[in-house]
Structure 1
Amino acid sequence: MKRNLEPIEYKENTEALAKFAKALGHPTRIAILKHLENQSCCFTGDLVEVFPLAQSTISQHLKELKNAGLIQGELKPPKIKYCIHQENWNIAKSLFQQFFD
C-alpha cells in the first residue's frame, strides 16, 4: 500500500529525483559513476586515462555530477579528488526505487 506524501515532501522528493535524473541523462556520467562506485576516490587525470575524452569534457561531466550532489570533490592541490557522495547516492537510489515501484 502506497502512503500519501505531504505536499512539501512530494515536492522535495520529485525535485530531487528530477535533479538526479538530469545528471544521469548522459552515458558518460553514468559510466563515471559506475567507475567511481568501484573506487574509493580518483582524480580527474585518472578518469582521462579510463575514458577516451578530453580532460575538459571529463571536468564538465564531473561538474554536472557534483552540482547534482552525486559526487563530491576534495581539493588536493593542484588536483581535485572525486568520490561518490554516499548519503546523496543512497537517497538517489531510494528515490528511483520508489519511482519504479
Structure 2
Amino acid sequence: MKSICKLLLWSTLTLTTPHYSYAVDIIDGKKKAVACAGCHGVNGISRNPMWPNLAGQKTGYLSLQMKNFRDGKRVNSIMNTISKSLTDEDIDNLAAYYSSL
C-alpha cells in the first residue's frame, strides 16, 4: 500500500510540476521586470485597474500567458510587442520572479 501511495504521489508531482531544461533565475527575472514596471508596478502591483497585478501569481499561469502573448495566441497590442523578444527562459525567469513576490 505504501508503494502505491508513493507511486501516485510521484506521478502527480511529475505531471503537474513544470519541467525546465535550465535553472530558473529569479534575479534575472527581476532585472527584466524593469520593463514591466510601468504598467504592472515596481513590485508587481499595478496602480491602474486596467493592468493586472503580477505579484504572487502562479508561475505556470504567468509563463503560459506571456508565451501566449509572444506567440500571438492571446492578443494585446502592447503585450504582443513587448513579449516578441523574450525567450522561453526569459519568460520563465520573469514568471518565477513575480510569483516569488
TM beyond 0.5: no
TM-score in terms of structure 1 length: 0.31
Greater per-residue strand proportion: 1
TM-score in terms of structure 2 length: 0.31
Q: Looking at both structures, which has the greater relative contact order when contacts are Cα pairs under 8 Å and sequence separation is at least 6?
A: 2
Larger radius of gyration: 2
